[in-house]
């Protein structure tokens, strides 16, 4: 691992089956899952911790149901960290911030769903707590078709950059081993 990625974690937000099986499609679903798999594999090979976030609610993401599970095309491993939440930001209900501080983590590389909800909220909360935030521009998504999904992702990418919250990088620009 290089100095660039020292004190970094990869965060995978709410990539749960129930968000992919409803009436609304996830924009660029296959690319999203492929990119997250690349990033998690790359992170593991460089000993960068991966944190999986799961959202629970009473409608779609019900704890104990199949829809609550991480998407089956993704492969968390036992050494990964898992956090569970019922609000948009994981930092609100959990000890995530304290755990990251205890490990000396300074940079969070963010991926997941939904761009316009929990991804945005976690990026903003992390920045407010003093973390450097990298949003992987082709490894987060939302509900929408080729037009509306693309517009939502582009809008939030631009807004988060313009507000000084994140630095954007494409999946292929990230190699945790270098």
Judged against a pLDDT cut of 60, whether residue 1 lies above it is answered with: no
Distance from chain centroid for Cα 28: 15
Tens-digit pLDDT profile for residues 104-132: 999 999 999 999 999 999 999 999 999 99
CB atoms within 10 A of CB 98: 10
For residue 44, the model assigns a pLDDT of 96
Domains of the chain (ranges, CATH numbers): 3-173 (3.40.50.850)
* pLDDT tens-place string over residues 62-90: 999 999 999 999 999 999 999 999 999 99
Per-residue model confidence (pLDDT) at position 178: 84
């Amino acid at each position: 691992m290089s100095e660039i990625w020292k004190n970094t974690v990869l965060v995978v937000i709410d990539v749960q089956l129930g968000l992919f099986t409803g009436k609304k499609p996830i924009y660029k679903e296959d690319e999203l899952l492929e990119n997250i798999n690349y990033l998690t594999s790359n992170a593991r090979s460089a000993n960068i911790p991966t944190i999986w976030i799961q959202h629970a609610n009473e409608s779609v993401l019900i704890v104990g149901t199949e829809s609550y599970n991480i998407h089956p095309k993704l492969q968390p491993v036992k050494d990964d960290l898992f956090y569970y939440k019922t609000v948009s930001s994981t930092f609100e209900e959990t000890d995530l911030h304290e755990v990251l501080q205890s490990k000396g983590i300074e940079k969070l590389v963010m991926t997941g769903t939904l761009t316009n909800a929990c991804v945005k909220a976690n990026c903003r909360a992390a920045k407010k707590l003093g973390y450097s935030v990298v949003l992987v521009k082709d490894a987060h998504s939302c509900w929408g078709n080729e037009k509306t999904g693309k517009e939502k992702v582009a809008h939030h990418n631009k807004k988060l950059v313009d507000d000084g919250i994140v630095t954007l990088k494409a999946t292929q620009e990230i190699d945790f081993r270098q």
